[in-house]
A and B are shown apart, each in its own frame.
Chain A
Amino acid sequence: MIAYTVPLFLRGRVITDDLVTFGTRKGVAQFQAPDMTKYVARLPLHSPAEMSDLYRLSFDEILDVLEALGNALDFDTNTHLQEAYEASLVANVLPAEMLKNSYRVLRPLFSRENVTEIADSQVGLDYLNGWVPHTLRDGREQRVRAFGSRTLHIPAGNGGLVSAVTILRSVITRSDVIIKAPSNDPLTAVAIARTLADVAPNHPITKHLAVGYWKGGDPAVEETLYQPHHIEKIVAWGGLASVKHITRYIQPGLELIALDPKRSATIIGAEAFADEATMHDVARRAATDIGVANQEGCANARVIYVLTGTDAEGLTKANRLGELIYRELMSLPAVVSTPPLYPDRELLDHLEASRMTEDFYRVIGGEQREGAIVVSQFDEAVDYSPMLSGRVANIVPVDDIDKVTAAVNSYTQTIGIYPESLKRRLRDTLPLFGAQRLTSLGYACNVAVASPQDAIEPIRRMCKWIVDEECDPQTVIPLWQLTPA
């Protein structure tokens, strides 16, 4: 059964010829896409000179186009988005209501105010739109401009927002962009591209966008395309295996911007147990960090350290918080969180084994595969913590904060912390171990686009920082006049 087709969007043209078939994560369903080996030669620009049209655009015009794009990304009327939604029902693990909602948040992303904030805070409008002058101490006049680059993007597929952000970042940097559609979100990037072609046909922004699907790791496509004469940068999200795979193509002239797989953590201070009302508030915040989009994201809470201590009183507190978090988790609205459609069988087996190992663990809920809280009865996370997903989290009581810092490493992205005073106390230490974003408990999955990501500034990294300098021999001593020091 062919569930959907992923067309090739080639710089304004929509191609559905030479279709080949691929499997989906749902056994019988398959999808089709043009055989990329037949089109790969046409994916990259023929010549970098073709990017000059992007530099004839004013930033105002870029804002106009993105605003028009945003206005057209109205889920109720945009058939491309509706098609993308239908495909994601087959390709994605999230339930229908949640997926539908993920399309509704696209429109405000492209508003003038939002785009301007991102461009100005993450790169600087001056640098994007012209040469920024600066006189150095030695007298030379230096001017710096951020140029776009020829970039290949491999976005993650656990939400349509990633594809939208990818396009937004590319447009504001005046980049030429090729997007490899993710198999678990196959049509969102294509839908946005097609909408762009509708609102801005033949516009340079439309002509510098290509979106298509090939199986990740297909050498017939990748060995041809991943060459410094075709692309300058690869922005790769997601799985360890796929990022590792791409590194084989990295060479001088072809840079990797890796937005690696990440995991996140949570730290809850003793203040959370001050009174009933505070405990309930903390439980709701923690449940939100666990539950958003069914814990599919890298920012979701998984292991939650609580500074209760590990004596009997501390364990009682941790267990009580576990009960409260579980209750809040179950009452999250369906548009935010639901029981997972495809719970991880292996994880559930571990959960049941922990339930039988009550000397070390207390398992709250999980018997209906609805999600669960495992409260460790000592100061270690469960051994299967890397598997935590589908609304299963682990509360770990600890005696002091050193135990927590030991658990933070280079794969740690977000740490949700309660209260703020604890966060301020930890913010100069946790980054040394690898933490990349510290946020108020309850906001882990509320991620700003106008922000560094994974401890880098991806939009700046997508730019080429070009220097033009003017040296007047009267001011800057020429090397030809240099005398021995």
Chain B
Amino acid sequence: MAVTQKTARSVTEFMDDPISFFGQSYTQMHSIGRDELEALQRQAMSIRFQQHHQSIEMLRKLADRLGITAVTEFNDVVPLFFSHTAFKSYPAVLIDKKRFDLMTKWLDKLTSYDLSGVDISGCSGIDDWIDRLDEQTPLEVITSSGTTGTISILPKDKRGAEEGMTLWKICLFQTFGREPTEKELNPSVDVVWPNFANGKLGHLRIANMIKRGFTGGDETKFHALYPFAVDTDLMFLASKMRAAASRGELGRLEIDPALAARKDEFIAMQERQAQDMDAFFTRITEQLRGKQVFMLGTYHLMYDIAKAGLQRGVRNVFAPDSAILTGGGMKGVALPDDFMDVIKDFLGVDRIQVGYGFSESSTFHWACSEGRYHVAPWVIPFVLDPDTSEPLPRTGVQTGRAAVYDILLRAHWGGVISGDEVTIDWDLHCPCGQSSVAFEPDIIRYSEKEGFEDDRITCAATHEVHNEAVNFMKGIDL
């Protein structure tokens, strides 16, 4: 029975378990009629706001200050959107001074969970703190790193991480217009992860989620480029270094003794990188040749790996039905026009899937055959005036700043504004057949457009930033 024929529609199921609501089917998720979906979205948004108004102090204070007690129409929620700065509004000095009690208190006001009972005594650093939150709360916090000396801390939860992986599988292995097969619903594949094996930093945190979600817990099916974890405290040092350098204060930067003690370990890791890369290529050609895999990385990362592979004479390495996911901005190093061909030549796959999302939200929006990013049904997209953040009309073609209200986010407030310029053609019915609203293919970060220094470290830059911090440590006597 198709979802559109269901009669009694449960908004509770829609907002709390959309995967079951849509019968685990990508096709059903993107076939629901717009009017019907919007009615569900409005109700769900209104309920979730009431829940979060109760449970998230920062949202409550903002709503109270603005005199907002309920949200019924889509645009009602816009004044309550958080910018990325909300997730890095703690003073960076708290980390320097290891005041993880105050960090916990700060985070408590951003999440719907109660963190008052968390024991952080003797907490030695960011990674340790996140481990404790992992152990003692429903949270699975991810961080992103910035160049301003402050890293964002996003209070995601374990439940969301699990749902996220289920959704990825749905999006990666199913084809729109065809109900899923058993194999598509329960794929067990080798995962190729051209990155550091682990870490708390946003995209690295995904590594563990993928390991759990795609390999059935079989560690041997997870193949990382570098076998070690990126240390968040080291990334924080890199971030502080940049901030200190921009103030001309590099000479006054103090390095946490706990981190300094690991200097040799970090240097050894760095020196092993070329060897690690050779081992990685040996492994994927010997163990994985011709196999169906799941591989993901940014354009930049994918291109670098493909080029390195081709230079070693490795091409057409995986089975054609492998799931390959890429995305992310084109920031930093310009890629040659034929970069996609280079990637395909190396991988030997039929299709490369592309997604769009940002870390303050939780949902990735998959590109269709037309290249449009179709918005998942539990996400309400907005196009805002880039300067004033006023919502633009939900009709015609609108270009502006992307914002979303993600109904599925339970652990933190789901209304977030991105740094991206997007276009939505609200009246379009995409020729791909999906009924959902979609972001047009050309998406660019405003910071990139305006030529400003970006405040984010993308996956592509992690490697360089990591090396930057290690090189800095090499250069000083600890």
Contact = CB atoms under 8 A, between A and B. Distances in A.
A353 B417 CA distance: 13
B228 to A, nearest CB: 29
Contact of B93 (A345, A354, A380): A380
Interface stretch (B127-135, B246-254, B457-465): B246-254
B247 A349 contact: no
A440 to B, nearest CB: 26
A380 B84 CA distance: 22
Contacts of B351: none
A434 interface: yes
A352 B83 contact: yes
Contacts of B86: 352-353, 356
A360 B247 contact: no
B85 A380 contact: no
Contacts of A224: none
Interface in A76-131: none
A348 to B, nearest CB: 9
A41 B474 CA distance: 47
B148 interface: yes
**A interface secondary structure, majority:** loop
A406 B244 CA distance: 12
A386 B247 contact: yes
Contacts of A411: 247-248
Contacts of A346: 85, 452, 455
A383 interface: yes
Nearest to B419: A346
Contacts of A350: 85, 89
Nearest to A376: B91
A382 B92 CA distance: 9
A382 B149 CA distance: 11
Contacts of A410: 248
Contacts of A409: 247-249, 252
B417 to A, nearest CB: 8
Size band of the interface chain A makes with B: 20 to 34
A465 interface: no
Contacts, number: 61
Interface in A358-401: 358-360, 378, 380, 382-384, 386
Interface string B56-87: 00100110000000000000000000111110
A429 interface: no
Nearest to B57: A356
B112 interface: no
A358 B88 CA distance: 14
B387 A356 contact: no
Interface in A235-283: 240
Contacts of A383: 88, 91-92, 148-150, 243
Given A383-B92, A383-B149, A410-B248, A356 B83 contact: no
Nearest to B94: A360
Interface in B407-428: 417
A352 B86 CA distance: 8
A357 interface: yes
A397 to B, nearest CB: 14
B150 A345 contact: no
Interface in A382-436: 382-384, 386, 406, 409-411, 434
A359 to B, nearest CB: 7
B34 interface: no
B106 interface: yes
Among B62, B92, B148, B417, the most chain A Cβ lie within 10 Å of the Cβ of B148
Interface in A317-333: none
21 contacts: A240-B246, A349-B85, A352-B85, A353-B82, A353-B86, A354-B89, A356-B58, A356-B62, A358-B61, A359-B102, A359-B105, A359-B106, A360-B91, A380-B91, A382-B91, A383-B148, A386-B148, A386-B246, A409-B249, A410-B248, A411-B247
The 7 closest A-B CB pairs, nearest first, are A353-B89, A353-B85, A349-B83, A357-B89, A349-B85, A410-B248, A411-B248
Given A349-B417, A358-B61, A409-B252, 6 more contacts: A240-B246, A350-B89, A353-B89, A354-B89, A359-B102, A434-B248
